[in-house]
Amino acid sequence: MGDSGQTACDPPDEGAVLEALKDVIDPEIGLNIVDLGLIYDLGIAADGAVKVEMTLTTPGCPLHAAINDAVHRALEPVPGVSKVDMDLVWMPPWTPEMITPAGRRALGWPDED
């Protein structure tokens, strides 16, 4: 693997955080939380603290704790991450239109025009 030029004290970049979050799979749908459109906002502080603002597909989703744990497990090993906070939000409500084109293809759905 090549050297990214990042040192242990540099905060991670957004691309690295999003790539790591693609390892978190919604167990009911079988698609990662990034391509599902569940990530609403990312905050990355200079000290490496990462704040993830996300939603779930339904407010009554019983998998909140499992997904929260999976987000932490995915992000904590990313170089530069010092802390992970996840905030669950419900506004705006998630809809299938939030799924990325890559996610739609993975689900076998046609791309929207």
- List the domains of the chain with CATH numbers: 14-95 (3.30.300.130)
Judged on CB neighbours under 10 Å (0-12, 13-18, 19+), 51 is middle
Helical spans, DSSP H, in 1-113: 14-21, 64-75, 101-106
Percentage, residues of the chain above pLDDT 90: 76
- Give CA–CA dist 7/24, Å, rounded: 25
Query: Quick one: tokens of 26?
Result: 């919604």
Residue 1: the pLDDT is 40
Residue 27: the pLDDT is 87
Would residue 61 be called left, alpha or beta, if left means φ above 0 and alpha means ψ between -120 and 50 degrees? beta
Q: What is the pTM of this model?
A: 0.87
Is the pLDDT score of 61 beyond 80? no
